[in-house]
Amino acid sequence: GNSVTQMEGPVTLSEEAFLTINCTYTATGYPSLFWYVQYPGEGLQLLLKATKADDKGSNKGFEATYRKETTSFHLEKGSVQVSDSAVYFCALNPVGGSNYKLTFGKGTLLTVNP
């Protein structure tokens, strides 16, 4: 079956530090890949997405590149802010076949200190 593996947290950084959260996946074909963010007490919201190999999704200074050869979709940001403190989820939507389930990683808690 499909699966998503994220680096385990929590991750604690100082403001303006560089962020990487690793995400690798297992799926057949060419799934669509997503990063969602969950701020405290809220539902998840889309951060960025990529729908085919070598696509780069970007939003709010965050980036992730769809790497088919390494089955990865790592999230990066050059300079984090306190307001980026949240839980980050990597997710995939399979494409094709009869599998319509969506798969999420376990989430990575990021805390950014001033």
Residues near other proteins (CB under 8 A) are 32, 34, 36, 42-46, 49, 51, 89, 91, 93, 95, 100-107
Smallest distance, other proteins to C-beta of residue 16, A? 28
User: Considering just the CA atoms, what is the radius of gyration of the chain in Å?
Assistant: 14
SS3 71: coil
CA distance 94 to 35: 15
Other C-beta atoms closer than 10 Å to the C-beta of 109 total 14
**Closer Cβ to other proteins, 15 or 42, answer by number:** 42
Do residues 99 and 93 touch, judged by C-beta distance below 8 A? no
Q: In angstroms, give the least distance from the CB of 106 to other proteins.
A: 3
Between 92 and 112, whose beta carbon lies closer to other proteins?
92
Nearer to other proteins, 59 or 113 (CB): 59
* CB 76, min distance to other proteins, A: 20
CA–CA separation, 65 vs 43, rounded Å?
Answer: 24
Closer to other proteins by Cβ: residue 55 or 76 = 55
